[in-house]
Amino acid sequence: MPAGHGLRCRTRDSFSRPFRKKGYIALTTYLRTYKIGDYVDIKVNGAVHKGMPHKFYHGRTGIVWNVTKRAIGVEINKQVRNKILKKRIHVRVEHVMPSRCNEEFKLRKKKNDELKSAAKARGEIISTKRKPEGPKPGFMVEAHTLETVTPIPYDVVNDLKGGY
C-alpha cells in the first residue's frame, strides 16, 4: 500500500501524551483567561479529539483574535510557496497554552521605563537601545625565558631488567 496522507498521518509521537502525563486534564487548562492580542502556543492534546488543529499548527505561536465559549481564535503565519499568509483558526482551549515568547521584552520594557524616569528626574537623556558587546580589551602577552628540553637517553639493558 502507498504511504497514507490522512489528516493525522505521521502524528504517532507528536500527538501522544507525554510519559506520566496521561489521565485527567488539569483544571488550570479550563480556568485560564485569554484576551484578544495575547500570544499563545498551540500544543495539541491527543486526549481531546474535538477542536484539534491540523498537525501543521502543532508547536506554532499565534495571536488570539477571538474568544468563544470553549475555543480560542488564533492567527498564525503560514508560508505558502513564496508568501506568508495569516491563517485564522479556532482551537479548543485544551490545545492552547499561554506563550512566554514576549516575557523578556515586557521585562526589558519595564526596566527601560524605570531607567528613563530616573534619568528624567536627574535631568539627563539616556539611550535604552541594546548595543552589541564590543571587542575585549587588549593585553600584552609576557614572553617567558626559553628552556631547552632534552630527552633522557634510552637504556635497553636497564629497561629489560625492570627499569631504573
Domain regions of the chain by residue span = 28-96
> What superfamily in CATH does domain 28-96 come from?
Ribosomal protein L21 (2.30.30.70)
pTM for the whole thing?
A: 0.76
What torsion do the CA atoms of 58, 61, 64, 69 make, to the nearest 10 degrees?
A: 30
Over residues 134-142, mean pLDDT: 94
Instruction: Write the CA distances from 147 to 144, 150, integer angstroms.
Output: 9, 10
For residue 11, the Cα-to-chain-centroid distance in whole angstroms is 21
Ranking 38-52, 66-80, 83-97, 148-162 by mean pLDDT, the lowest is 148-162
The x, y and z cell numbers of residue 161, run together, are: 631488567
* Structure confidence by residue, pLDDT tens digits, 24-51: 999 999 999 999 999 999 999 999 999 9
The x, y and z cell numbers of residue 94, run together, are: 485544551
* pLDDT (0 to 100) of residue 162: 64
